Amino acid sequence: MSSKQAEQLDALSLSIGHNFADPLLLRRALTHSSHAHEQAAEEKVRHDRGNEQMEFLGDAVLGLAVADWLFRHHAGDDEGRLTRLRAGLVSRRNLSRVAERLGLGENLRLGRGEELSGGRAKSALLADALEAIIGAVYLDAGFQAAVALVEREVVRDAGEQLSEIEDSKSELQEWIQARSSRGGKRAEYAVVSSDGPDHARCFTVELRWQGEVLARATAPTKKQAQQLCARQALELLRRREEQ
């Protein structure tokens, strides 16, 4: 590792708020598989898988850390709302936003193809790198250090983030209107079933747009089911845009 690369990792460690005992863990967390494959081909050695395994580990740590935080800070909420809030906080949108704030994009190690296709700004790569870094912190200093990172960055300004998560319907409609050339018609929500006794009824709602069913969700109220559908549809439509 060159002195310049070491300086860059030190600066990123400062941004993340964790001083790595083993800086190579951070370096690996920033290594996309495309870079690892190219390096292996050029040097004719067995390739490292890059940050994929760390991403897998970090995803598990992230999920537990966020669930624990919600349990402690939203103890009065029902399971359905806690599930929605967790989904929003660990969503690609929120994770990529955190990654951008930390400056991960400029520090990613990418293959030439990913570099040329704008990989440093792709929300999927940014979110994956953040999960990998959470995994790297876990390996470097244990679970509590990783939890501290998640609480410091992923649930930062949580009140504002949770408000956004709760109004996915408005967010989806704004997404549709911004792409009026592809059809500005409003999304339609239809109750397809209603089960259970009056005091414990569950509603299943489908979200349709341009003749396609984009999402289906079940919740104790129609409004909650619609919000769940809108969040699922946003995730789907954003993934499609990136492909």
Give 201-205's long-range contacts (Cβ < 8 A, gap of 24+). Answer: 205/229
pLDDT of 40 above 70: no
CB of 50 within 8 A of CB of 135? no
pLDDT of 20 above 90: yes
> Which residue is catalytic, options 38, 55, 59, 153?
59
pLDDT of 30 above 50: yes
Same domain, residue pair 68 and 183: no
pLDDT of 113 above 60: yes
pLDDT of 173 above 70: yes
What pLDDT is recorded for position 147?
A: 96
CATH of the domain at 76: 1.10.1520.10
Band of the pLDDT at 63, cuts 50, 70, 90? very high
Q: Which of 124, 157, 190 is the last residue of a domain?
A: 157
Same domain, residue pair 108 and 227: no
pLDDT of 178 above 90: no
What pLDDT is recorded for position 201?
A: 80
Residue ranges making up the domain that contains 112: 3-157
**CA of 85: how far to CAs of 16, 100, 214, in Å?**
24, 21, 20
CATH of the domain at 183: 3.30.160.20
Q: Give the chain's domain count.
A: 2
Band of the pLDDT at 3, cuts 50, 70, 90? low
Looking at this protein, which amino acid is placed at residue 157? D
Tens of pLDDT, residue by residue over 199-221, are 678 899 999 998 899 999 888 88
Residues in Cβ contact with 35 at an 8 Å cutoff, skipping those fewer than 6 apart? 50, 109, 110, 111, 114
Q: Which of 136, 157, 178 is the last residue of a domain?
A: 157
59 is catalytic: yes
Q: Could you give the CA distance from residue 136 to residue 24 in angstroms, rounded to a whole number?
A: 9
Q: Is residue 163 part of a domain?
A: no
What pLDDT is recorded for position 238?
A: 84
Q: Which of 150, 10, 172 is nearest to 73 (CA)?
A: 150
Q: Could you give the CA distance from residue 240 to residue 36 in angstroms, rounded to a whole number?
A: 26
DSSP string, 39-83: HHHHHTSPPP-TTHHHHHHHHHHHHHHHHHHHHHH-TTS-HHHHH
Which of 35-44, 74-83, 185-194 shows the lowest per-residue confidence on average (mean pLDDT)? 35-44
Same domain, residue pair 142 and 43: yes
> Which residue is catalytic, options 38, 55, 114, 131?
131
In this prediction, residues 38-50 reach a mean pLDDT of 53
In this prediction, residues 92-100 reach a mean pLDDT of 91
Q: Is residue 162 part of a domain?
A: no
Q: What is the mean pLDDT of the chain?
A: 83
What pLDDT is recorded for position 45?
A: 40
Q: Is residue 145 part of a domain?
A: yes
What pLDDT is recorded for position 44?
A: 43
In this prediction, residues 1-27 reach a mean pLDDT of 83
Using only the alpha carbons of the chain, give its radius of gyration: 20
Q: Which of 82, 91, 83, 33 is nearest to 62 (CA)?
A: 91
Q: What number of other Cβ atoms are within 10 A of residue 230's Cβ?
A: 25
